[in-house]
Structure 1
């Protein structure tokens, strides 16, 4: 009788063993959030140390670098303490997820536009401005710098933020041992939505950010994967990014 070689699949063997559970949880998210806040504070202090107005390069570095550093830290944690971002953050390609993300992102655009109009009427145009809008206002920018800012707000920024909130925080919440699967996903949706809004550190816009975040979180909740929320977030950010681009170029008055 033939004896199979070691490692050779044998008929009737069970399915491949699932990867071990990640060795990271809420502590990993808190570390990434601390990295985000600390790097933003440090970079901001360095940029302001020279006095005078911020240069275009300074605005771009101060806006983009902290979020990129924090998201990169999250990816490293999943690699070192888990099974990598694809497995730990449920990040995989699916056209169905892209389509749903586009639909919910379009819904988010409507919700955002209506919510922003209502919020502006309540708190005034100045108080309703985002931090990035305030940074860009009055800052002369070259075409290249304005395009880089646009691409960050539309594409890169949402990827980084989704890795942190609907990726790391969501997965940590969903894996809590005491929860039932259904309630774990709903808890992850609620917590990530609230933390995402609060973490922008814009108190007057927190309520608006909660509204904006709901369609994005729904994409993660419905698909169970991160790609849908990334696409929804990018779709939701597109028109605001275009508005900031046109403002930065002086085409549209702030």
Structure 2
């Protein structure tokens, strides 16, 4: 996006780096707080399994924090979300995003099959999303809210953090494009905290990064991410 060579620096680095690290720190802090709030006194450390009804949405609160720092950083130090990140989608972003999102689904599916073949189903953990239908209190309302968060909120916050703030910070310091693509994909995979799905998430992160590369705008990667998340969101209702 904007090549701001005179952009404000924080501790000697571009402000986007500070926004990225603040977002990650906030994510972990809020995760600790929400986990403590919903963990059973008996010591059950599975917060998702203890959520029900409105509390179901608590599982998405830490993720929403990821996008807060890029937004605040852009408003305070940058030129606004559209100039800094290309947040307002154009038709070209939509086309690129849909294509890359569909490709990310295929890549993730094939890589997950490979992991299953190597490690076996017993050693590969399920996605945390598989527990959500069981704790929805029998209401499609809460599942619909969770699905909306998965398709709309999560792609926006994660993309603003990784292929927005981190990507811009790396570009500002003239990191080679292929390194930016690989590094942001790796960060994307790691922040999910799902060790057995890191390979698949890395592959999907590369494809989402291609959307950003092709368009030069984070809006395209947001649309690609939303497209990639749509089938898992729909599958929430099949387990209802």
TM-score calculated relative to the size of structure 2: 0.85
- Does the CA-based 8 Å contact 1:104-1:232 persist in structure 2? yes
Partner residue of 1:36?
Answer: 27
Q: Distance in 2 between matches of 1:106 and 1:70?
A: 24
Residue 76 of structure 2 is matched in structure 1 by: 80
Contact 1:75 1:85 in 2 (8 A): yes
Q: 2: distance between equivalents of 1:119 and 1:186?
A: 25
Decide which of 204, 228, 231 is 1:239's aligned counterpart: 231
Q: Which has the larger radius of gyration?
A: 1
Match of 1:207 in 2: 199
Match of 1:99 in 2: 95
Partner residue, 1:109: 105
Moved more, 78-87 or 233-242: 78-87
Matches within 5 A, 1:1-254: 21-23=7-9, 24-48=15-39, 53-61=50-58, 63-125=59-121, 127-133=124-130, 135-136=131-132, 138-141=134-137, 142-176=139-173, 179=174, 183=176, 185-247=177-239, 249=240
Query: Which sections of structure 1, spanning at least 5 residues, go unmatched?
Result: 1-17, 250-254
User: What do the CA deviations read for 1:40-78 (whole angstroms, capped 9, x no partner)?
Assistant: 1111111115668332322321x2111212312320111
Q: How far did residue 235 of structure 1 move?
A: 0.7
Matches of 2:152 and 2:25, distance apart in 1: 23
Q: Secondary structure at the match of 1:93?
A: coil
- Please name the residue that 1:9 is paired with: none
Q: Distance in 2 between matches of 1:129 and 1:49?
A: 22
Runs of 4+ with deviation above 4 angstroms:
49-52
CA RMSD of aligned residues (A): 2.1
Residue 118 of structure 1 and its aligned partner are, at CA, apart by 2.6
Higher helix proportion (structure 1 or 2): 2
1:155-202 deviation per Cα after TM superposition (whole angstroms, max 9, x unaligned): 2211111011100110111100xx37xx2x322211110101011111
- Pairwise CA distance, 1:223: 1.0
Partner-residue secondary structure (3-state), 2:135: coil
Q: TM-score under structure 1 normalisation?
A: 0.80
Cα distance, 1:204–1:137 mapped onto 2, change above 3 Å? farther
